[in-house]
A = this chain, B = another copy of it.
């Protein structure tokens, strides 16, 4: 049987353990966590985003995102804004202070990516992404959707 250490999940975790510390070290220099950076970067690309979109863009689940945004707000890097048309929606916007971080953090992050890129050839990157993409596209077991309502027959 395949050894635990060679399973796909373990390989993925090991890769993250190998790659992420380099980036986290950079984020830490600016008092940011990895998740906080992901949120900020999404906001740098889009002025203002609803939490739900932000959740999808950062891959941070809604419950976790609430706390991440709380702390970003506490630190004065973003603000929450209620939407007038649909009052259920809460948009998040980066403050001037939050925006200012982009030019400071981005160069360092880009450089770290550049270093990372050197470790694989062009075709190796292509093949790696191809494999990951296939796994991502893998048909997900359908969410337990609202059951087709059996109208009438109350059983």
A41 at the interface (CB under 8 A from B): yes
Provide the residues of chain B in CB contact with A113, threshold 8 Å.
2, 7-8
Q: How far is the CB of A9 from chain B (nearest CB, A)?
A: 6
Complex copy number for this chain: 2
A148 at the interface (CB under 8 A from B): no
Of A70-78, A79-87, A133-141, the segment with at least 4 beta carbons within 8 Å of chain B is A133-141
Interface contact B138-A19, CB-CB below 8 Å: yes
Residue from B10, B110, B132, B138 in contact with A12 in the complex, judged by beta carbons closer than 8 Å: B132
* Main SS at interface, chain A: helix
Provide the residues of chain B in CB contact with A103, threshold 8 Å.
none
Interface contact B8-A135, CB-CB below 8 Å: no
Provide the residues of chain B in CB contact with A15, threshold 8 Å.
12, 132, 135-136
Residues of A in contact with B (beta carbons under 8 Å apart):
1-5, 7-23, 38, 41-42, 45, 57, 59, 110, 113, 116, 119-120, 124-125, 127-136, 138, 140-141
8 chain-A/chain-B pairs, Cβ below 8 angstroms: A9-B16, A11-B132, A12-B15, A12-B16, A17-B59, A119-B134, A127-B131, A128-B128
